[in-house]
Structure 1
């Protein structure tokens, strides 16, 4: 019998035996190599849900993952044992949003690792074969996992449409924020002003190319002579993230909100946004971005490896959830290896 990490409710994660369900037509079995602990997984852990996706009974999280095919996949010419990534978003394909090319906004989505759909923090998982993403031969499991959060970052920058050499304020330097920072640089953005309350995240932002790093939007205001930045991307888990993005924005500026706030609620003085006449976009998941994500990693334009600060086995996963929830210094991105940590991931 397999084992898995379960979330039963707020602040309740544990490892227990897991009965793998039967496969369905059109599915393929994956041996999970490793899986990322995402910010949304932390929301399920800390809050017991995100909006309408509520943990009503124990479920297995994990939507950022890579693994090995348990059988040949002739449709893509992949042999048993091939390392693949998996797009966790299974849109319906026939609603008006899917037909317009917005599969990331599909209201009928079945998303791996979002309740009630079990995710990949287990040893094996059945996935729709249509969601298999083939990888270059030299990719590692770590790189396979990081393609999904990198895809979120690419989608955010697509929405932001940074102008060549435009100054950008980045509010939040967690894994998604740090990936956004690198995609912004690859897209030709100019000076990137990054803020985060945690020192180790600021240090990483500086290493990855932020022009300036600080603790809060007050720093951005100071650096811009209180004018603000023409483009602000927010990637925090704070209920004040929307407010902070507004305060960091220039009059007539643009904001892209990527983060999910704790408690699923924003706090925002309306006048601050209204008087600036801001253009505001919300990012949700991603579009068809995997080919670009693979190219950015393969070409060395985005460094995903340095973001991974911890790699653990399944038994250590509950403590790892707690450490991330408590903002323990040094934690940026953790990967969980359901069958035991392997140096192949690093």
Structure 2
């Protein structure tokens, strides 16, 4: 019998036997290669839910994952054993939002790894064949896992529409923030001024292209003589993230909010945003961006491996949640590996 990481409630992660369900028509069985521990997984762990997606019974998290095919898929030109990525977002495809090109906003979405739908922190998983994404042969399991968070970063930058050589403030240098940073540089943004309270994340931001990295938004204010910047992208888990993004923006600036705040609540003095006359956009998941994500990794324009700081065996999954929730120094991005994949981890995964 397979084993899996289950979230029972806030602060309660356990490894236990997992009964793999029967596959449905149009589904393919994957051997899980690796799965990322995402910030939204942490919100389920810390808060017991995100908005209306609440843990009411134990479920298996994990929506960032790669796997090996257990059968040939001739319709996709893939053979058994091929490494693939998976888009976890199964939109309905026929509502007005889907038809308008916004499957990430579909209210009828079935999302792998969001309660009540079990995710990939286990050994095998059935997925809709239509959501399987072929990846280049040279990709590692890490590359394939990181396509999903990279897609979130691409979508955020699409919404931001940075102008050529435009200076940008980046609030938060966690995994999504660090990927956004690299995408900004790839599309021709100018100087990126970053802030994050954790020193190791600031150091990594500098290595990945930030011009400066400070501990708080006050540093950005000092670097810009209090004027702020025309474009701000926020990628934190802090209720104060919205407030800090506003404070980093200049009058008439644009703000894109990507992070999910702890407690599902923002802290914001309204006058600061209103008096700046800011344009605000909220970013959720992504659209059809996987081809660009694959190309960015394949061309070496985004280094996804640099963002991964820790790797855990499946049995260590609860410890990974605990350490991330505690903001343990050195933690950035963790991947979790099923037992049968331990021998493959040395192959760049």
SS of corresponding position for 2:92: coil
Equivalent in the alignment of 2:38: 38
Equivalent in the alignment of 2:189: 189
Report the alpha carbon displacement of residue 190 of structure 1 after superposing the two structures with TM.
0.3
Equivalent in the alignment of 2:247: 247
1:156 and 1:185 map into 2 onto residues whose CA distance is 14
Equivalent in the alignment of 1:143: 143
Equivalent in the alignment of 2:326: 326
Report the alpha carbon displacement of residue 10 of structure 1 after superposing the two structures with TM.
0.4
1:265 and 1:203 map into 2 onto residues whose CA distance is 29
Q: Deviations over 1:178-211 (max 9, x none)?
A: 0000000001000000000000100100100100
SS of corresponding position for 2:309: strand
Q: Deviations over 1:301-338 (max 9, x none)?
A: 00000111111101111111100000111110000001
1:212 and 1:123 map into 2 onto residues whose CA distance is 41
1:307 aligns with 2:291: no
Report the alpha carbon displacement of residue 145 of structure 1 after superposing the two structures with TM.
0.2
The within-5 A match list for 1:9-20 is 9-20=9-20
1:343 aligns with 2:314: no
Equivalent in the alignment of 1:219: 219
2:323 and 2:72 map into 1 onto residues whose CA distance is 39
For normalisation by structure 2, the TM-score amounts to: 0.98
SS of corresponding position for 1:275: helix
SS of corresponding position for 2:276: coil
2:122 and 2:338 map into 1 onto residues whose CA distance is 5
Equivalent in the alignment of 2:287: 287
The within-5 A match list for 1:149-188 is 149-188=149-188
5+ residue gaps, structure 2? none
The within-5 A match list for 1:45-60 is 45-60=45-60
Equivalent in the alignment of 2:238: 238
1:12 and 1:203 map into 2 onto residues whose CA distance is 32
5+ residue gaps, structure 1? none
Report the alpha carbon displacement of residue 344 of structure 1 after superposing the two structures with TM.
2.3
SS of corresponding position for 1:272: helix
SS of corresponding position for 1:232: strand
1:41 and 1:303 map into 2 onto residues whose CA distance is 23
Equivalent in the alignment of 1:128: 128
SS of corresponding position for 2:205: helix
2:347 and 2:243 map into 1 onto residues whose CA distance is 42
1:257 and 1:96 map into 2 onto residues whose CA distance is 24
Equivalent in the alignment of 1:200: 200
2:265 and 2:338 map into 1 onto residues whose CA distance is 33
SS of corresponding position for 1:255: strand
| 4+ residue runs over 3 A deviation | none
SS of corresponding position for 1:344: coil
Report the alpha carbon displacement of residue 343 of structure 1 after superposing the two structures with TM.
1.6
1:316 and 1:215 map into 2 onto residues whose CA distance is 31
Equivalent in the alignment of 1:96: 96
2:251 and 2:14 map into 1 onto residues whose CA distance is 48
Equivalent in the alignment of 2:269: 269
Report the alpha carbon displacement of residue 345 of structure 1 after superposing the two structures with TM.
4.2
1:180 and 1:101 map into 2 onto residues whose CA distance is 22
For normalisation by structure 1, the TM-score amounts to: 0.99
2:279 and 2:175 map into 1 onto residues whose CA distance is 25
Report the alpha carbon displacement of residue 47 of structure 1 after superposing the two structures with TM.
0.4
1:9 and 1:269 map into 2 onto residues whose CA distance is 32
2:347 and 2:281 map into 1 onto residues whose CA distance is 38
Equivalent in the alignment of 1:316: 316
Report the alpha carbon displacement of residue 74 of structure 1 after superposing the two structures with TM.
1.4
CA RMSD of aligned residues (A): 0.6
Q: Deviations over 1:155-194 (max 9, x none)?
A: 0000000000000000000000000000000010000000
